[in-house]
């Protein structure tokens, strides 16, 4: 089988398309013919040894897949060869085949493409956990979404609207603002590119406050970090919840006096650990996502596709923060 491998730490240009032996499913495992693998920001970090986990090399990046069951290991009774599936994995998605624990697989609904299936779980499961479990979002809340045109950003807009929030989407270009409006954002604002000096930071805070109104944000969804974090925090409302989701713009340092003045919470969101620690709660969220998907309230937006040999280009586009929606590498027919 073919796989796009990281053999040494480095950027996307270091990935090599290589041949590997076909894997064999062990007890409790499925063998998957991968049809699509979406690209997420952890793929940028993991090949540079900057992620929380460092797999033994060589390895293929790619943590979100859709495919077809090609083999069933001993003890697996609820899957058959030919079944369509989707799953999140730590790595290994940029390859033609892999094995995984059957308990980690979900069925891809009829009528949904593999590209859509590969674009669902990581972004939407992260976001529903963030908004409901950590942000305690409720109808009527003001929800400020940073980086609102990326995969998790669009998921936050859609889920925010599904749960009755007023959504203010913050983005870096008019094209991204258009995507946020199409996803249902009530209001969009375009911010400049960081880094910011003190004056620019203050101006951005005022921009956030003007869009949110006098009550500020009850929930802030931040998958961006960097110099955008403090201005956003300054726009939070009384007893608001600031959700820390990711740091493509850098790890921010927040002035904690702001949390005292607003009596607000800064909440970390680590969906992978949540799913491992509380699999029943995570499974319940995933069931909800499939229902919302069927009802048309959420819909993964795949905006660009790549061949397996071009998977590095997809990761480079993600690293440059040029992606709108989801980038998907199509691997099988």
Q: Count Cβ atoms below 10 Å from residue 280 Cβ, excluding itself.
A: 7
Q: How far is CA 96 from CA 62, 104, 150, 188, in A?
A: 12, 18, 26, 40
Fold of the domain spanning 2-120+300-330 = Quinone Oxidoreductase; Chain A, domain 1 (3.90.180)
Sign of CA dihedral 49, 99, 41, 225: negative
Return d(Cα 227, Cα 225) in angstroms, integer. Answer: 7
- pTM for this one? 0.93
CATH 3.90.180.10 assigned to domain 123-271? The reply is: no
- With beta carbons less than 8 A apart as the criterion, state whether 32 and 106 touch: no
Q: What is the DSSP letter of 48?
A: T
- Joined together, the tokens standing for residue 263 give 């009596």
Sign of CA dihedral 316, 317, 322, 325: negative
Return the beta strands (E) in 21-110 as ranges: 29-39, 64-72, 84-88, 97-101, 106-107
φ/ψ of residue 221, rounded to 5? -110, 110
Q: Where are the domains of the chain?
A: 2-120+300-330, 123-271
The per-residue pLDDT string of the chain (333 residues; one tens digit each, 9 = 90 and over) reads 999 999 999 999 999 999 999 999 999 999 999 999 999 999 999 999 988 889 999 999 999 999 999 999 999 999 999 999 999 998 999 999 999 999 999 999 999 999 999 999 999 999 999 999 999 999 999 999 999 999 999 999 999 999 999 999 999 999 999 999 999 999 999 998 889 999 999 999 999 999 999 999 999 999 999 999 999 999 999 999 999 999 988 999 999 999 999 999 999 999 999 999 999 999 999 999 999 999 999 999 999 999 999 999 999 999 988 889 999 999 977
Tell me whether residue 317 is exposed, middle or buried, using C-beta atoms within 10 angstroms of its C-beta: 0 to 12, 13 to 18, 19 or more.
middle
Q: Is the peptide bond before 207 cis (omega within 30 degrees of 0)?
A: no
């Amino acid at each position: 089988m073919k796989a796009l491998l990281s053999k040494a730490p480095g950027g996307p240009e270091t990935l090599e398309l290589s041949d590997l032996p076909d894997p064999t499913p062990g007890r409790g495992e499925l063998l998957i013919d991968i049809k699509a693998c979406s690209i997420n920001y952890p793929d940028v970090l993991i090949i540079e040894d900057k992620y929380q986990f460092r797999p033994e090399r060589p390895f293929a990046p790619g943590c979100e897949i859709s495919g077809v069951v090609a083999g069933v290991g001993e003890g697996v009774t609820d899957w058959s060869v030919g079944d369509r599936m989707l799953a999140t994995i730590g790595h290994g998605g940029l390859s033609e085949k892999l094995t995984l624990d059957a308990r980690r697989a979900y069925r891809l609904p009829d009528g949904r493409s593999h590209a859509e299936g590969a674009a669902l779980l990581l972004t939407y499961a992260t976001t529903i956990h963030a908004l409901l479990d950590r942000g305690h979002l409720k109808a009527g809340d003001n929800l400020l979404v940073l980086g609102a045109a990326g995969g998790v950003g669009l998921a936050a807009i859609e889920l925010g609207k599904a749960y009755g929030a007023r959504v203010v989407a913050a983005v870096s270009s008019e094209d991204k603002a258009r995507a946020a409006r199409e996803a249902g954002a009530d209001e969009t604002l375009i911010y400049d590119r960081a880094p910011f000096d003190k004056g620019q930071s203050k101006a951005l805070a005022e921009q956030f406050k003007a869009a949110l109104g006098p009550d500020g944000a009850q929930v802030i969804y931040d998958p961006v970090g960097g110099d955008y974090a403090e201005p956003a925090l300054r726009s939070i409302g009384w007893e608001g919840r600031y959700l820390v989701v990711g740091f493509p713009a850098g790890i921010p340092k927040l002035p904690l006096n702001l949390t005292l003045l607003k009596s607000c919470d800064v909440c970390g969101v680590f969906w992978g650990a949540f799913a491992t620690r509380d699999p029943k709660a995570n499974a319940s969220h995933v069931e909800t996502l499939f229902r919302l998907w069927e009802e048309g309230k959420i819909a993964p937006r795949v905006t660009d596709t790549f061949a397996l040999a071009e998977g590095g280009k997809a990761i480079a586009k993600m690293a440059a923060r040029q992606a709108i929606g989801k980038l998907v590498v199509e691997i099988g027919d």
